[in-house]
Amino acid sequence: MKRTGIFSMLLISLIVSLAGCGRTETKKADVVIWHWMTDRKKAFNELAKRYQAESGRQVEFKLFAPSEIYSQKVRAATQAGTLPDIYGILGEKKDFAIFVKAGHVLNLNTEMSDNIHEWRNKFFSKALIVNEFEPNNEFGAPAGIYGVPIDVTNIQMLYNKDLFKKAGLDPESPPQTFSEFITAGKKLKKAGTQGLVSGWAETWMIDCLASNFAFNIMGEKKVMRTYAGEVPYTDPDWIRVFSLFKEMADSGVLASGIVSMNNKDAEQNFANGRAAFAFNGSWCVNVYKGMNPDLNYAAMFVPRVSDEYPMLIWGGAGSSFMVNARSENKEKAVEFLKWLTDEKQQAYLAQDTNNLPANKYSLTNISPLLSQFAQTMENTTHPNIWPRHEKSVVIEAFDIGIQSIILGTKTPEEVAREVQEVKEREMAK
């Protein structure tokens, strides 16, 4: 009897424990939003307060950081069926398409088109296009607009004016061509200053600069033909792209340790005046302000290598919000996003967080530095809007190959051959 009693207690505790594994999240707010943007936490909470005061609806922003953890949480939530009303998807367009095809994202085409495209027309076109799937797209996602951009961004170079002066360079005339950039790097090195810092341990930033150069050297069509498998990576133009990294490494314009530097370290180095150049996105304005408010710097366009094709930099929507298509509150969620992307709220976000607003009518009162970034929005491109995409395994071989060139362990020709081998193997699958 005693043993049966003990057993019953064990069984009950087991059942109670297992019951604890179920869903526990209770929603109290009218709209729940998940995001990863630590720098915007305060501003979002302030906007939620203002929205409640205006509409009487309660919006709750839930922050999950860092972004890798956030991404995992969102993926897990798709399987558990616990996605919030509004969330963001981090990753490439193919990742976005997976969510769309799985029915986790609301198609906003109708809302965007209402009243003669009233909502749609508020945004920078390049910000919206990132969130759009054209008919018959390569991902097989149904056509439509699936995201609402809340800011725009682009990635270019920054330079430290004080370090320029110290090295005898003109702080008002940064290098415009690649050869000028190399020459400036040599002068800076001579003056005992590190050159370019960037988060090249996170290989996507290498990929970003390499594709800037590739677009400039061979044009978009040839780059896309390479992705389609029609042009090999052993083509002289691609070897030229790889060689630029060797040239940068050999000239000493790259800061030591750049290949094992994450972007946070790179930002600290630049903000603390330990490096003269940085390759970073427009979000850096806010980051540098936090790290060193007295930093004397300016933005410069990525130095062009050739005059044959335009230099295009990566840019477009910075952060976007998606509405959960299965949410019971999707109408309320859309209403909130319309309010959030109105001029007034966008201007507040831009001023408070030093990010470029997605609403093109909210550009007044932004800082001169942000204006510099805003002026180059027309020269931006982004993998998410390209008609073709390289396979991730090939991108990895490409980026790691460039790291090897910088380290001096492989030549541009060797890397080109290796990347092409990976490409051919992937094409054969």
Partner 1 sequence: MRLKRSTAENYLFILPAVIIFAIFYIYPFYATFNLGLRAWDGVSPVSQLVGLRNFKEVLFQDRLWWPSMWHATYITLIALTLQNALALALALACDRQIKLGNFYRLIFFIPPVLSEVVVGLVWKWIYNGDYGLLNYWLTNIGLGHLARSWLSNPQTALTCVAVIHSWKGFGWGFIILLAGLQTIPRQLYEAARVDGANSWQRFWHVTIPLMVPVFVLVSILTILGSMQAFVLILTMTGGSPALGCSVPVTRILGSMRASLRFGYACAQGIIFGLILLALSFMQIRISKKMKQA
Cα gap 29→2, rounded to integer Å = 49
Cα gap 129→133, rounded to integer Å = 8
Residue 422 CB coordination number (10 Å): 18
Identity of the residue, 274 or 289, whose beta carbon is nearer to partner 1 in the bound complex: 274
| Contact between 69 and partner 1 per CB under 8 A | no
Cα gap 194→175, rounded to integer Å = 16
Identity of the residue, 103 or 236, whose beta carbon is nearer to partner 1 in the bound complex: 103
Residues 255-294, interacting with partner 1 (CB under 8 A): 255-262, 274
Contact 313, 381 (CB under 8 A): yes
Q: Return contacts of 403-406, CB within 8 angstroms, 24+ apart.
A: 403/200, 403/203, 403/206, 403/259, 405/242, 405/245, 405/246, 405/249, 406/200, 406/245, 406/246, 406/248, 406/249, 406/254, 406/258, 406/259
Identity of the residue, 10 or 228, whose beta carbon is nearer to partner 1 in the bound complex: 10
| Contact between 68 and partner 1 per CB under 8 A | yes
Stretch that binds partner 1, among 115-123, 154-162, 228-236, 404-412 (CB under 8 A): 404-412
Cα gap 209→198, rounded to integer Å = 10
- Torsion (CA) 97, 402, 264, 72 in degrees, nearest 10: 30
Shortest distance in whole angstroms from residue 223 CB to partner 1: 21
Nearest residue to 93 (alpha-carbon basis) of 395, 383, 393: 383
Residues 356-385, interacting with partner 1 (CB under 8 A): none
Sheet of 148-149: strands edge to edge?
Answer: 59-63, 31-35, 86-87, 320-323, 148-149
Token reading at 115: 């009243």
* Residue 309, SS3 per DSSP: coil
Shortest distance in whole angstroms from residue 209 CB to partner 1: 16
Identity of the residue, 3 or 28, whose beta carbon is nearer to partner 1 in the bound complex: 3
| Contact between 87 and partner 1 per CB under 8 A | no
Identity of the residue, 8 or 375, whose beta carbon is nearer to partner 1 in the bound complex: 8
User: One symbol per residue from 184 to 213: x for binding partner 1 (CB under 8 A), - otherwise; what is it?
Assistant: ----------x------xx-----------
Identity of the residue, 261 or 370, whose beta carbon is nearer to partner 1 in the bound complex: 261
| Contact between 249 and partner 1 per CB under 8 A | no
Stretch that binds partner 1, among 43-51, 100-108, 290-298, 341-349 (CB under 8 A): 100-108
> For binding to partner 1 (CB under 8 A), which residues are involved?
3-4, 7, 10-11, 14, 18, 68, 71-72, 75, 78-79, 91, 94-95, 98-99, 101-102, 104, 194, 201-202, 255-262, 274, 392-393, 396, 400, 403-404, 407, 409, 422, 425
